[in-house]
Amino acid sequence: MKDHAKTKQALIGELTSLRERIVNLERSASEQKRVEEELRESAEKYRLLFEYSPLGNFYFDEKGVVVACNGHFVGLIGSSRKALIGLELFKLPDQKVVEAVRQVLDGKTAFYEDVYRSVTADKATPVRAVFTPIHLEGKGVIGGVGIIEDITERRRSEEALRESEEQYRTLVENADEAILVIQDGRIKFVNTRAVVAFGYSVQKFMSIPVFELVHPEDREMVIRRYLEKINGDAAPTRHTYRVLHKEGPVMWIEISSILIQWEGRPATLNLITDITDRKKAEDALREREEKYRTILESIEDGYFEQDLAGNFIFINDSMSRIYGYSKEELIGLNYKQYTDLEGGRKCFHIFLNIYKTGKPGKIVDFDIIRKDGTRRHIESSVSLIRDPAGNSTAFRGIVRDVTERRQAEEALNKSFARLRDALSATVGAAAMMVETRDPYTAGHQRRVADLGRAIALEMQLTDEQIEGIHMAGMVHDLGKISVPSEILSKPTRLTDLEYRLIKTHPQAGYDILKDIAFSWPIARIVLEHHERMNGSGYPHGLKRDQALLESRILSVADVVEAMASHRPYRAGLGMEAALAEIEANREILYDPLAVDACLKLFREKGYHFSES
């Protein structure tokens, strides 16, 4: 019994122990299941990370054979997973890849960056890769992993950046301006133009304190503005000053400066233009302007500039004297304020014509009314002022006060008119003296003078020529006072001796008149009025234009009047006979233009001799 009880107790203990073992086994199985589940989850995470990584991933074993790769790697290589699994890396033609795999299997990390050309597809891709070894505890390196990045876009960006940098470098090196980067009072960068402009090499530029290049008289100002720029103060962006060339000459520069960051610190970027020649030209221009201004202020004539509305915008001192206003009062004064209605209209039309045609106005004269109400007579010449584009912007002109000169001219003209009247009366008296000795030709000289004037008018000669012909006609036979009166009034044909004596009257008349200071060639016309175009006339047998035009005109008038009028030795032949004579001998004996004008007067315009 006792043994039976002991056995039962042992069985209960064993059962309890068995239950505990079962519980432990169940607990162990549950833990193993949990661990296995965690391992599966972890493996799945790593698989997903491996497969969906934005980079190309692949594994290779200790023999350098690809055992796994993700889809991105397949895409980079341009092949298929089937073609890539089992790829022997040591057999690749790209020795950089082979060397990287060898380093990894030696336990080292390796890097690769190049254009990889796939052996499983026709594709070349710029890539960057990191190869790392896989260590297994107790076994060492069992393979490696490669992580691949497609750097095509980066390469493109870098190339674009290089091209951009090269373009900017080309622009900087070929710029017309000298370009300097200044930091801490030292030159950090210069372009080729700066080297040429200043005469220093790049190395020398870098070693010179920049302000030593500035002219001593401008140095303080330049340093002050540089510090203002660096400190962010409101300093002028553009200014000019003098600098020193390596060889010594002083240069004027114009500099445009902005604040930049250079290697992480403040600096100034400076664009410099050599304006030495421009400065010299400006100085020369200022000197010329000052010279011209001095001349303008010194001349007696007035100089003015007016806007297109006729208001003074610039005047010299003489304008103030001429117009009787101060310079301040004249500026802005309109032409209507110093002219009367007639003068204002005249000014308006003059300026309008100049504006429309663009041609300078010749000297014009008009009256102005001074500030004190007195009138002055002025002469003015005007032209347009144009801008560089050729547009009319204003008028400029010269004014001269000719009041005294005009008064003197008027007095002189009156005196001249009196002298001319006296001269005409004297000539008329001389003509009467001839006619009193030859009553049969009374009125001949006056009629010849009138016809000569009419022919000259028809031929549109000048007023001076017309008056000279008329004056010469009045005395063309003055020389006959040296011929005996019985020959002049002889009723029968003249003998050869008498005719030769008559032919001396042109020379005699010339001798009487040659020393008188006429305004016209009176003496010569008298001398030549019997010359003929073919040289058959007298006293010198002149041909064509050897005789004055006035003489040739007077000869036509003399022949027509003489033939049409009575003479002591014959009756008048009539006007038609006279006209027929000059027409028949046109260009032979008589000037053709004078003949044509004479014929037109009588046949078309009804000219006739006065009976008085």
Please give the Cα distance from 212 to 244 (Å, whole number).
8
Please give the Cα distance from 254 to 176 (Å, whole number).
13
> What pLDDT is recorded for position 424?
62
> What pLDDT is recorded for position 533?
95
What value does the mean pLDDT take over residues 266-289?
Answer: 86
pLDDT of residue 3 exceeding 60: no
Residue of 73, 175, 173 whose CA lies nearest to 116: 73
% of the chain exceeding 90 in pLDDT: 33
- pLDDT band of 284, cuts 50, 70, 90: confident
Residues recorded for the chain: 612
Give residue-wise pLDDT tens across range 363-383.
Answer: 778 888 999 999 998 888 898
> What pLDDT is recorded for position 246?
86
- pLDDT band of 548, cuts 50, 70, 90: very high
- pLDDT band of 5, cuts 50, 70, 90: low
Give residue-wise pLDDT tens across range 306-348.
Answer: 999 999 998 888 888 889 999 899 999 998 898 888 888 888 8
Question: Which two tokens mark 268?
Answer: 């100034």
> What pLDDT is recorded for position 144?
94
> What pLDDT is recorded for position 445?
85
Identical fold, 175-279 and 430-603: no
pLDDT of residue 418 exceeding 70: no
pLDDT of residue 463 exceeding 70: yes
> What pLDDT is recorded for position 441?
57
- pLDDT band of 78, cuts 50, 70, 90: confident
What value does the mean pLDDT take over residues 531-536?
Answer: 94
> What pLDDT is recorded for position 520?
87
Q: Residue 454 is which amino acid?
A: A
Q: Tell me the pLDDT of the chain averaged across its residues.
A: 85
Q: Work out the angle at residue 226's Cα, subtended by the Cα atoms of residues 224 and 229, and round it to the nearest 5 degrees.
A: 110
> What pLDDT is recorded for position 439?
58
> What pLDDT is recorded for position 91?
93
pLDDT of residue 109 exceeding 70: yes
Question: Which two tokens mark 568?
Answer: 């002591």
Topology of domain 50-155 in CATH is Beta-Lactamase (3.30.450)
Domain boundaries, the chain: 50-155, 175-279, 299-401, 430-603
> What is the CATH number that goes with domain 299-401?
3.30.450.20
pLDDT of residue 406 exceeding 90: no
pLDDT of residue 556 exceeding 90: yes
CATH superfamily of 430-603: Hypothetical protein af1432 (1.10.3210.10)
DSSP state of 275: -
Give residue-wise pLDDT tens across range 349-359.
Answer: 888 888 888 88
Q: Which helix (H) or strand (E) holds 524?
A: helix 522-528
pTM over 0.75: no
Q: Helix or strand or coil: residue 414?
A: helix
What value does the mean pLDDT take over residues 508-513?
Answer: 88
> What pLDDT is recorded for position 435?
63
Query: Are the C-beta atoms of 117 and 124 separated by less than 8 Å?
Result: yes
pLDDT of residue 610 exceeding 80: no
Query: Are the C-beta atoms of 464 and 525 separated by less than 8 Å?
Result: no
Query: Are the C-beta atoms of 187 and 195 separated by less than 8 Å?
Result: no
What value does the mean pLDDT take over residues 136-146?
Answer: 90
What value does the mean pLDDT take over residues 101-124?
Answer: 92
pLDDT of residue 399 exceeding 60: yes
Please give the Cα distance from 261 to 181 (Å, whole number).
10
> What pLDDT is recorded for position 452?
94
Residue of 236, 234, 278 whose CA lies nearest to 253: 278
Residue of 177, 171, 175, 169 whose CA lies nearest to 255: 177
Question: Which two tokens mark 183?
Answer: 């930091």
- pLDDT band of 524, cuts 50, 70, 90: very high
Range name among 62-71, 152-161, 491-500, 572-581 with the lowest pLDDT average: 491-500
Q: Which helix (H) or strand (E) holds 599?
A: helix 592-603
> What pLDDT is recorded for position 104?
95
Q: Residue 398 is which amino acid?
A: I
Please give the Cα distance from 261 to 232 (Å, whole number).
12
> What is the CATH number that goes with domain 175-279?
3.30.450.20
